Structure 1
Amino acid sequence: MALTLISKAFAEGTPIPRKYALEGENIFPPLAWGAAPEKTQSFALIIEDPDAPSGTFRHCGIANIPAQWSALVESVDTMQEQALRFYKNDFGNARYDGPRPPAGDPPHRYIFRLAALDVPRVTLPEAAGAEAMWQKVTKHTLAEASLTGSYQA
């Protein structure tokens, strides 16, 4: 069975509720996963908008998610969880910042990508962004799952 990723906030291909958008409450949506490979030592997550006018825009990057976890709770980025490492998104913040497509744009896709890794920790400089983190974790990926939602301003 392959690695799976779901959210109780939205289903694959459906709109992401305003609550999770930058113009809403801007809180991290709950995520859950299953069927991780047996040799998984940690997980990493990136959230990307491939429809941004300037090219792919990263809204969140998280590494060092413990292997025994099977979910990230709503608002996980506001908790003082020592295990997680948030990398700077393209807004320049080391946290989740939700969807914010330009007014008048058609709906943008937001792709939540979870990687099961063969290493327990990923270490990068403090200034590293979500894109650099994802490039590093791809070298250690055992399996990947994705969940896509949409949002329109």
Structure 2
Amino acid sequence: MALILTSTSFTHHGTIPTRHTCDGKNVSPALTWTGIPEGIKSLVLIVDDPDAPDPDAPKMTWVHWVLYNIPPDVSGLAEGVTEKKLPPGTLQGMNDWQHTGYGGPCPPIGRHRYFHKLYALGTMLPDLQIPTKAVLENTMRGHIIANTELIGCYQRQSSG
């Protein structure tokens, strides 16, 4: 069975609802996964936007959410999950707003893609003390057993 990541909030390549963005309540979407391979020790979730700042001229990938050491027996995250409601043992990394937790889409221009990437690891990672995405990806290298992604899109309404 393949590792699959879905959301009741949006479909793959569908539009992310405003409530999950800076234009709404800025709460994380509900996420569910299935097909965790045997022997997995932990899961990692990274949400990022490779279209920043402008999809017609991207210059960077903006990191929205970093979670690691999610227990393998957990099958998802509830909408609007807070730090206190994360599964026991789950650790957080730093997003590009320089804090932990979810930061929703807030694109300055154009329709951006938001990659929700789930990794199944054959190890439990050490406490990396609020790592950046780059540090986490480097630490995961060689331990990824399976991965999948769910892409949502968002474009802010023009104020004109």
Give the structure-2-normalised TM-score: 0.88
> 2:78 maps to what in 1?
73
For residue 149 of structure 1, the aligned residue among 138, 149, 152 is 152
Consecutive unaligned residues of structure 1, counting only runs of 5 or more, are none
- Is the 1:45–1:113 Cα contact (8 Å) retained in structure 2? yes
Q: CA deviation at 1:78?
A: 4.0
Distance 1:32 1:122, change over 3 A: farther
Q: What does residue 139 of structure 1 align with?
A: 142
Check conservation: 1:62, 1:130, Cα contact below 8 A. Answer: no
CA 1:136–1:91: 2 relative to 1, 3 Å: same
Other-structure match for 2:132 = 129
The answer to whether structure 1 residue 100 and structure 2 residue 102 are counterparts is: no
* TM-score, with structure 1 as normaliser: 0.92
Q: Report the count of equivalent residues.
A: 150
CA RMSD of aligned residues (A): 1.4
Which contiguous aligned blocks of 4+ residues in structure 1 show a shift greater than 3 angstroms?
none
Give aligned-pair identity as a percent: 35
The alignment partner of 2:125 has SS state of: coil
Aligned match of 1:64: 69
Q: 1:78, 1:124 → 2: CA distance?
A: 17
Identify unmatched segments of 5+ residues in structure 2. Answer: 54-58
Deviation of 1:79 after TM superposition, in Å, equals 2.7
- Max Rg structure: 2
